[in-house]
Amino acid sequence: MRAGLLDTSRTATGSRMQGGGYWRRLLPVLAVLVALTRIPSFVRPLWNPDEGYLAVQARILAGGGELYRTVVDRKPPLVPWLYEGAFAVFGSGSLTSVRVLAVVAQLSTAVLLASLARHRWGDRSGRTAGVLYALVSIGLNPEDAQAATFEVFILPCTAAAMWCADRRRWGAAGVAVACAFLVKQTGAAVLVPVLWLLWRHAESPRRGLLRTGVGVLVPVAAVALLTDPAGLLFWTVTGSGAYASFTGSELHVLGRGLANAAILAVACAGLIPPVLRMLRVARTGSADLWLWLGSSTAAVLAGFHFFGHYYLQLIPPAVLLATAALRILPRERLLTAVLTSVCCCALFLAWGLLAPRPELAHSQRLAAAVAHRTRPGDRVLVWGIHPETYWLADRAPATRYLTAGLLTNYSGGREGPEVGEKYAVEGAWPVFRAELTARPPVLVVDDSRGRPYAPDRVPSLRRLLAAGYEEAGTVDGAVLYTRTGAQD
């Protein structure tokens, strides 16, 4: 093991001695590649409901709201705060500012992977890792890969954790793990390879473990105190039992998982052959990378939903494993891997630029109708899974629960068997009823469109509509209800 470390150290030292121009040449290439691959993210106002959810959260927070109290989600707070900060500087009418931050996040990830590969295997491997990551990073459905949501901002944190651990900076590695967790819970999976590196290479494992633990715990504790410790624990850890259940939609969920795995496999067509061909050799000296890939796979499996954006966590370790294999294969193998990745990248880039988004068009039409029937300052209730309607209409939600999923468990993609009031987040319905009683919404929009959470399957909502609202029109199958006696 010590000999291997000495070899790695000599490789890294020799690499650094080749001149300070390395990064001056590589950084512009990576910046151009990342910017080109993310062009589609700027051609649409919104890519998926997660972006809409975050945009609405940010507006509520800017208006004095509090996370886990006046607006809730099953996620930690770093990305909502990021949106809030971007909106404060550049305005909340567009997601361009957070899309730029997503470009920065992807570029940072590419640079960290390039630096990590260069430190281990030399200059060429650094270039290989950075370029391959930039090419493969958009290899999913565009609504998953191009959106500025949680997983995109996890990636630089996890790459930074491995970068720090590779350089035996245990406290900094712990802070990076904490940041990954505070972006999204599954980001903590990178702790597994970090601890393996600590166990294998720390001069004093006990001291290194202490530093890592402090690095993890201090940021998490600070964020808990800045929000609501009990609320943070409930919404990010203990309150999602029904959401994480596998029961009820097994075939539907498994089909989604296999489809997204197949899409990512197409994107990684240039990486898979060298990894498979040199599996035994590439694994030697790269156990931490295999652990990183394995723990990231466990993160994808957690919750049994297999949404496409979950798979983004697999790309950094896969790129490094391919780089480890390609460094000892003939040069033509490297050229084949890069050319294949370029072709696949072009395919996904075209998909992002040309694919229609019917749900976005629906949300825009619905938001226009909501804005027409209400005034600024009016509160509305959109009963659906597209919270972007609030943001597009520039109207405040009547409740802290921005989607019907939190009140019915449909947000996990359930098809019916475990959807309904009894599967809601614990304690949500009493709070929901109290909010609507204290400040009844001016307009209720039933955007269920025949899905399992429609009002005829949700008694409490059905009674609310029957007691104080009347149908006032439809938009693309969504039904609008105004308060009884209210004027248009």
- In tens, the pLDDT along 425-472 reads 999 999 999 999 999 999 999 999 989 899 999 999 999 999 999 999
Q: Identify the residue with better confidence: 250 or 54.
A: 54
Q: What percent of the chain has pLDDT over 90?
A: 80
Q: Return the pLDDT at 196.
A: 96
Euclidean distance between CA atoms 402 and 129, whole angstroms = 40
- 488: in domain: no
9 pLDDT above the threshold of 80: no
> Do 328 and 387 belong together in one domain?
no
Mean pLDDT of the chain: 90
Averaged over 47-57, what is the pLDDT?
A: 95
Q: What confidence tens digit (pLDDT) does each residue in 89-138 have?
A: 999 999 999 999 999 999 999 999 999 999 999 999 999 999 999 999 99
Q: HSE (CB half, 13 Å, CA atoms) of 116?
A: 30
**pLDDT tens, position by position, 173-190:** 999 999 999 999 999 999
* Residue 277 domain flag: yes
Q: Give 276's pLDDT tier (boundaries 50, 70, 90).
A: confident
Same domain for 107 and 136, yes or no, is yes
Nearest Cα to 124, choosing from 287, 15, 275? Answer: 15
Report yes or no on 216 lying in a domain.
yes
Assess whether 458 and 442 both reside in one domain. yes
Q: Is residue 455, in this structure, part of any structural domain at all?
A: yes
* Confidence (pLDDT) at 435: 95
- State which of 302, 336, 354 marks the end of a domain: 354
> Are 243 and 380 in the same domain?
no
* Residue 350: inside a domain: yes
Task: List pLDDT tens digits, range 139-182.
Answer: 999 999 999 999 999 999 999 999 999 999 999 999 999 999 99
Within this chain, do residues 146 and 45 fall inside the same structural domain, yes or no? Answer: yes
| Together in a domain, 405 and 332 | no
Q: Looking at the structure, do residues 382 and 342 belong to the same domain, yes or no?
A: no
339 with 363, same domain: the answer is no
Q: What total of structural domains would you count in the chain?
A: 2
End residue of a domain, out of 354, 381, 407: 354
Distance CA 366, CA 462 (A): 21
Query: Residue 285 pLDDT more than 90?
Result: no
Asked if 345 and 440 sit in the same domain, the reply is: no
From 354, 371, 401, the end of a domain falls on: 354
* 311 & 452 share domain: no
488 has pLDDT over 60? no
Q: Is the pLDDT higher at 357 or at 16? A: 357
What the block records as the tokens of 147 is 């959106």
Summarised one tens digit per residue, pLDDT across range 190-233 is 999 999 999 998 889 999 999 999 999 999 999 999 999 999 99
Residues 422 and 346 in one domain: no
Bridge partner residues of 396 (DSSP): 379
Same structural domain, 297 and 333: yes
Residue 210 confidence (pLDDT) = 96
pLDDT band with cut points at 50, 70 and 90 for residue 18: low
Domain that holds residue 388: 358-483
Q: Is 464 exposed, middle or buried (0-12, 13-18, 19+ CB in 10 A)?
A: buried
- Chain segment 242-270, per-residue pLDDT in tens: 666 656 567 778 888 999 999 999 999 99
**Domain contains 230:** yes
pLDDT at 4: 40
203 falls within a domain:
yes
Q: Quick one: how far is CA 327 from the chain centroid?
A: 31
